[in-house]
Structure 1
Amino acid sequence: MASTALEPWQAAAPRRKRRSAERRQRGREVALRDLEAQPEVDCGVVLRRIREAGKDLLLSDFWSLALETVNSCLKKHLEQLKVPEGTLSEALGNLHLDSSPNESAAVTPGFIPGENPVPGTCCWKCVCYGIGNFATCVIARHQLTFLLLFLEKCQIPRRHCWVYDPLFSQLEIAVLKSLGVTVLSENEEGRRSVHGEPTIFYMPHCGTALYNNLLCSNWSVDALAKMLIIGNSFRGLEERLLARILQKNYAYIAKVLKGLEELELPETSQYTDIFNDTSIHWFPVQKLRRLPTDTWAFQEEPDYQDCEDLEIIRNKGRAPSAADQNLPWQGSCPQR
C-alpha cells in the first residue's frame, strides 16, 4: 500500500528536470529485473495480476489524489465542450470521481465495469499508445490498471477505448480483447485525428515524437479543444530539452506550450517509477486563440532526420524519410 502522500498536484516545476531521467532509468532497471524473473504465463495469470494491481491501486494514496486532479481537469473540459444546458450538472454528477471504500468491487474477477454509461455523461473516446508489455512488466501492468479504472470512473465504455503498442505479444492482445478494449492492428505513429469527437489520449512514458505527431494530426483550435492528453509532462520536456532542439525536432509541442493547461499527477512513494513525470494536459480555447496568428498556418510534416534518441517504431507501410527508418522506440519498459 502507499505510504504518506506527498503534496497534491501543482504546475510542473523545475524539480522534474533533475529527477525525471534518473527515475525513468531506475524504473526500466526494475522492470527488466522483473521481466527476467517471470515464468511463462497464460491469459488467466495475467488477468489475475491485473486484478491484484487494481486492488492495490484503489487502496493507494496515489489513486485518491489522482482523482482530485482528474476531477478538476475533466470538469473544465466538459464545460469547454459546451454540454447542452441542463445536462452539464447531470454529466458532472455522473462522473464517478470519488473514492469510496466499496470501490474494490471494480476489480472483481470479471473486472469489466463501465460498459453502459449513465445517460447524460459526456461521450469521450479514449486512445492508449505505448502501454508496454504488461504481461511481464510491473510498471506497464500498473499503467494498464490505471487506464481500466480511469475508463470506469469517466463512464467510458471499454469498446470506446483503442489500444496499441507495436510490441504487444499475442498473449497481451488476447488479454486486452478479453477485457473489452479495442486493439488497433496498425501502427499509427500517434497520427490519429479526433474527427470532432472528444478524445482522451493516454500515453504514459511515450517517446516525444508520438506526442508531436498527435498534435500535428490535430493542428487546429477546434480539434485541440476536444483533446486531453495524459502523458509525459510538456513543461518537463521544455525544461529538459534545449529550446532550439525542441523547436526544430518537436515544433508542434514547442508551438502549443502557451496554449495548454497542465495538471501533474501526484507523486507517492509506492508509484514513484510508474507515474513520475506524468500530467494531464488540456487546451483551453481562450489560450489557443491567443497564440500568434501564424501558428495555425504551420503545417509541416515532422522530420526527425537529425533527432538523437528518437523513441518511436516506424510504420513500415508508410513512407518515412530515409533517415528515420528503423529507429528505436521506448515506452514504459526496458525491453523496447
Structure 2
Amino acid sequence: MTTHTDAPADHVGTRARLRDIYAAAHEQTLHPNALGWPGRPDERELDFISHVVYGRPGMAREGCAYLVKELAQLAEIERHLSAVFGIITAQLGADTSPISDGYDLHHALSCFAAEEYLHADFFYRYVRELADTDIKLADSLFSERLALYQGDDSPYVKLAAMCMAAYIGESVITVFEKRTAHLDPGREHFLTKLLWAHGMDEARHVQVDHVVLECIMPSFSEAEQRRAFEIFSGTEELNAELAGRFKQLIVDVFGVDHTVDNPAWDVQQSLTSVFRQAMTVTWPPSPVDERMDDETRKLLHEFAGTDRVHP
C-alpha cells in the first residue's frame, strides 16, 4: 500500500474542524421516517414541480421525469459513496498519520456514509412516488464503480478522489435546494421539504469536502495527485455511463426526453461544467464559489435567488 507521508501542518486543527462539523449532527438531521410521506403528488404539488423545473405550468409529467432520472441517479451515487467510505474507514485502522489519531476523522466519515445511505433510501422512495411505479436499474455498474477504490492506494487518495467526484453533484443539488427554498420559503411543498432535509446533511458533507481540499490534498506527492485524478476520472466516466442508462430507463417509463427544452437541465449542465472545472484546473482543487465568474453568479442568482452555492 502506498502511504500518505506528509500530514497537514496543523493536523490538530484539522481534526478539530472535523469534530466541529459533526458536533450537532444529531440535532440537524431528519430520518426518512420523519418526512411525512404524502404518497403520489397531488395537482398542487405537480404544478410546483412544473414551475421548479420548467418555470411555467403545464409541464408536470416532464418535470417528474426529470426529477425521477436525476434523483434516482443521485441515490445510486450516494450509495456508492457509502460503500467507498466503508473501504476507507477500514483502511484507517492501519494508518499512522496524525490526522487519523483519535476518533475525529473516522467519526466524520462514518456519519457522512450513514447519512448518504439514508439519502439513497429516501430519494428512491420519492422517485417511486413520482413515477407511480418501481424505478429499478438492472445494472447500475456498482461493481465497476466500487472496483476503482479497491486497490492498494492510500485511504487519503481514495478519499480525495471520492470527495472530488461527490462535491460536484453535492454543489448542484444544493443549488436546486436553494431554488425550491426561493420559490417556496414556507416549505409548503414536499419537494422543498425533501431537499431541505437532504440539505441539512449535505451542508456537513460539503464542509468535510472542504477539509479534504484544503487540509489533506495539498500534502499529496505527485504520484498521489496522479492517482487521485485517475480514480476521480474513472468515477466520472462510469457515472456518465450510469446517467445514460438512467436516461433510457426514464424515457421508457415516461415516454418523454427530460432534456428537451428544459431550463433546469440547461442550468444543471452549465453549473456542472463550472463545478467540474473547479476540481480539475488547479491543485489542490478549489471550492466552487471561488471559481465562479460573473456570468455564472448571474445564472445562479436568476435560478436560485442566491449569489453563493455554499456558506
Give me the TM-score of the superposition, normalised by structure 1: 0.27
Q: Per chain length, whose mean CA-contact separation is higher, i.e. which structure has more relative contact order (CA < 8 Å, sep 6+)? A: 2
Comparing both structures, which one devotes a greater share of its residues to helix? 2
Comparing both structures, which one devotes a greater share of its residues to strand? 1
